[in-house]
Every structure is written in structure tokens, then in C-alpha cells.
Amino acid sequence: MFHKRHKLAEANVPQSWVQTGAWHAWEPPLNVVRGESHRQDVLARYCGPPTVLGYLVPVEGVLCREPNNPVDPYAIRVEVEGEHVGYVAEEIAAQLSPALDKAGCQRFIVAGVIRGGAIDAPSIGFHLWLGRRIVPGPSIILNETIRSSPEYAVKWRGVERHQNFVPSDEAQRDVPGIHTGASMHGGRWTGIDQRDRLATIKSAREFLRCETDPLERHFAYNLLEETLYKCRDVISGAFDDFRLTCEQHHREMSTIRPSLVGLFGRIPLLPTYRQMAIACSKSGDYDAAAQWCTWGLEIYGDEALEIAPVEDLETRLNRLTRKISSL
């Protein structure tokens, strides 16, 4: 399954691996941690609310042997900063544990990345580079069979392959509301004041009055629309402002779209169209809801980064068309 050496090897990852972004040049990690679905609250602390592209947060993964585990004597617990986030997959742990026990190693640390939290895929996982040691530990040399197995292999999404794609890192711990797509081109919009919703609305409007870059405007619009929609029931006029903002955003998509393709290679999730379709449907304006679905599908064309948003709009449009026909 893989080759292992019982003697502990020196660390082969510099302590600055997160700060320098060295992990961007590495091979993809492995999906060998199980049970994260039961510990989403812990992993979510390192991310924030679901965003357009989700999060990649590099952190240390601490592997702890549990020889007295009542369920699995080969169990290896996985922790992040002292918090239990899962276990190494049983079949992998069964191969690793004898080597750890023979070397007298009950605990060692490898590089890992918390990944997920996108609007269209909100679950969060924790992947590991088992061969990248932050402290002395066993030398684990994985063979190609395990690296290429669909059960363990991690395939970066299109945008994640970009070497400079840093959707969160440490910034997300301090500013949970950042929508991470803008990090690839500077992200001036992330300077928008997000202390509270009123501050966000005011600051985003001021930003849009002055900013001219299409991508900066796009992400600022996303933030403003999201905030206005959340305030629709508590701030007078917020829903009308939300609708007008979405309409202006759509009018600018002729310049925003080519910039998105230039940055990401394809079109990432565009929450404006889905949210307006939902809002119009709730208000009983089914024709407008269908129009927003149609506009969204036209913008995506055949260049969507993910198929799920396109399928969502297609499903909504079909349902709305049937409803309109029945009226």
C-alpha cells in the first residue's frame, strides 16, 4: 500500500510554510481524515460563512496514536490546535500504526489544509500531506496506488490550481466575512468596513462610487447584495435597495464577465442571479424570477467553473416556466 521507515526522520517543512505560501507549490494533499462531518463546528472556526469560492486554510495537523481505543486498536486521532477533528482512515491507520509504535512515536505533526465552505458545497474537510513533517516523525513514502485512488486523491478545482490562489489563510480568522475570490487580484474591496451590517452597506456604497476595476466592483456588489438581503426585514427600503443593486450589478456584467474569465479561467458562482430568482419568486413575480434565471444562464454560458449553479438555475427556470403556464 505504501512504503514506511520505522526510524524517525527530521522535519522537512519550514516553520514558515504557511506565511510564505510554500504549500501552493506542493502536490495536492490526501483525503485521509474521516469523521469531519461530525466536527464541522470546529473546522468552521477557521473559515467563516459560506462564500463564492470557499476556503483553503493551511494549518498543522497533529496525529495522535490511540492504542487503547476501544473500537480500533490502530486508531490515529487527528487534531487541529488541540481540537479533535477526525481520525485517519482506518485502512491507512492500520498500516501506519505499527511503524509509529515501533519507532515509539505517539504524536507527530504534518502539514494540512482545511478546505470547503463554498456556497454550492458548504461542507468542510481536512486534508493532510502525510509526508510533509513539521516536527520529526516517521518517513511515510506513499506509492502511486494510494495517491491516485479516488478514495484518497484530492483534485483541486480549476481556480485552486492557480499558484497564487489564497482564499483565506490567516486573514479569514480575523475577518470571517471576506469573500475570498478577490484575493487573486489584490482585493481592495476587502477594505470595506464590515464591523456591522449598517457599516458594511455604507462602506460598500462609498467604495462603489469611486472604484472602477470590474472585479473589485463585482465582489463589492456581492457583499452589498448579501448584506442588504439579510437586512430586508429590519431596515426600511433594504429590499428595494437590494433589487436595484442587483440590477446595476447585472448591467455591468458585460465588463465583469471577461474579467472573471481572465482571472479564474471560467465563471465562478454568481449568487446574484439565484438570489434574485428566489426573491422574485417569494414576492409572486414569477416572470421576473424566470428572467433572472435566464440572465444567469446566459452569463454562465458554457464556461461555468462548477456545474451545480447552472443546474440550479435550469431547474428553477423549468419549474417557473411550468408555473407561469399554469396561471
Percentage of the residues of the chain whose pLDDT score is greater than 70: 86
- The answer, as to whether pTM is greater than 0.75, is no
* Radius of gyration of the chain, Cα coordinates, nearest whole angstrom: 23
123 plus 182 within the same structural domain: no
Higher-scoring residue by pLDDT: 166, 262: 262
- Helix, strand, coil shares of the chain, percent, nearest 5, are 50, 20, 30
What pLDDT is recorded for position 265?
82
292 plus 262 within the same structural domain: yes
Higher-scoring residue by pLDDT: 15, 300: 300
Q: Name the band, by pLDDT with cuts 50, 70 and 90, for residue 159.
A: low
What pLDDT is recorded for position 221?
95
Neighbours of 195 (CB within 10 A): 9
Domain-terminating residue out of 119, 143, 172: 172
* Contact in structure between 245 and 237 (CB atoms under 8 Å): no
122 plus 208 within the same structural domain: no
161 plus 15 within the same structural domain: yes
Q: Name the band, by pLDDT with cuts 50, 70 and 90, for residue 241.
A: very high
270 plus 186 within the same structural domain: yes
How many structural domains are present in the chain? 2
320 plus 199 within the same structural domain: yes
136 plus 223 within the same structural domain: no
> For the ranges 27-31, 108-112, 153-157, 229-233, which has the lowest average pLDDT?
153-157
Question: Count of alpha carbons within 13 Å of 271, Cβ hemisphere only?
Answer: 22
Higher-scoring residue by pLDDT: 55, 75: 75
Domain-terminating residue out of 172, 187, 206: 172
Phi-psi region of 237 (alpha: psi -120 to 50; beta: other; left: phi over 0): left
117 plus 193 within the same structural domain: no
Q: What is the pLDDT of residues 19-58, one digit of tens each?
A: 677 788 888 899 999 999 899 988 888 877 777 677 888 9
Domain-terminating residue out of 121, 141, 172: 172
Q: Name the band, by pLDDT with cuts 50, 70 and 90, for residue 112.
A: very high
Domain CATH for 250: 1.25.40.10
Mean of the per-residue pLDDT values for the chain? 84
Q: What is the pLDDT of residues 294-312, one digit of tens each?
A: 999 999 999 988 787 888 8
What pLDDT is recorded for position 174?
29
* Contact in structure between 154 and 31 (CB atoms under 8 Å): yes
What pLDDT is recorded for position 143?
67
* Contact in structure between 180 and 171 (CB atoms under 8 Å): no
What pLDDT is recorded for position 9?
83
Phi-psi region of 321 (alpha: psi -120 to 50; beta: other; left: phi over 0): alpha
Q: How far apart are CA 297 and CA 278, in angstroms?
A: 15
166 plus 243 within the same structural domain: no
pLDDT at 1 over 70: no
250 plus 152 within the same structural domain: no
Enclosing domain of residue 166: 2-172
Q: What is the pLDDT of residues 168-207, one digit of tens each?
A: 433 333 222 233 344 444 578 878 887 788 888 999 999 9
86 plus 157 within the same structural domain: yes
154 plus 244 within the same structural domain: no
Determine the average pLDDT of the residues in 259-272. 87
Q: How far apart are CA 6 and CA 324, in angstroms?
A: 69
